[in-house]
Amino acid sequence: MAVPKAIYKKILVADDEKSLARALELKLSDAGFKIVSVDNGIKAMQILEKENFDLIVLDLIMPDMDGYEVMEKLKVMHNQTPIIALSNLSQEEDIQKAKDLGANEYYIKSDVPIVEIVKHVQDFFKK
């Protein structure tokens, strides 16, 4: 039996909204991804300094260090890990700022159900 391709993909989920982070963790794990989950940007950076990931699912508004700061630090580190930004910020300037800082994709949390986020992650690896 062939092992699903996704089983080898490791994703960092950084989101302080515990219910969303847990749901993402469960659904992405069920889809065959290895998930590491943190609830703020400082923890995300600590892990990213030690481990490599295939994708980062990053909330933009978090305590201690927000997602924008995480992306700025990753740029300085020349870390090229793809990023899917998640936020309730829906202003065009917020979306553009995230993309300018390196977000490959941007989804507004209130507009996209968890199952759709999982599908976007799966599709991301099919590109």
**Structural domain of 56:** 8-119
Spatial contact of 21 and 37, defined as CB atoms under 8 Å apart: yes
Amino acid at position 111, single letter: D
Number of structural domains in the chain? 1
pLDDT tens digits, residue range 19-33?
999 999 999 999 999
| pTM, full prediction | 0.92
Tell me what pLDDT residue 3 has. 47
Q: What is the DSSP string of 36-80?
A: EEESSHHHHHHHHTT---SEEEEESS-SSS-HHHHHHHHHHTT--
Query: Has residue 35 been placed in a domain?
Result: yes
**Do residues 87 and 59 make contact, with C-beta atoms less than 8 angstroms apart?**
yes
pLDDT in tens, 51-82: 999 999 999 999 999 999 999 999 999 999 99
b/e map 77-87, b = 16+ CB within 10 Å: eebebbbbbbb
Please determine, for residue 96, whether its predicted confidence score (pLDDT) is greater than 70. yes
Average pLDDT over residues 86-109: 96
Q: Is 90 inside a domain boundary?
A: yes
Answer yes or no: is 70 within a domain. Answer: yes
3-state DSSP assignment of residue 122: helix
Query: Is 124 within the bounds of a domain?
Result: no
Domain contains 126: no
Reported confidence tier of residue 127, pLDDT bands at 50, 70, 90:
confident
What is the predicted pLDDT for the residue at 126?
A: 86
Q: What are the structure tokens assigned to 9, written together?
A: 């993909």
pLDDT at 99 over 50: yes
3-state secondary structure (DSSP) of residue 13: strand
CATH number reported for the structural domain that contains residue 43 in this entry: 3.40.50.2300
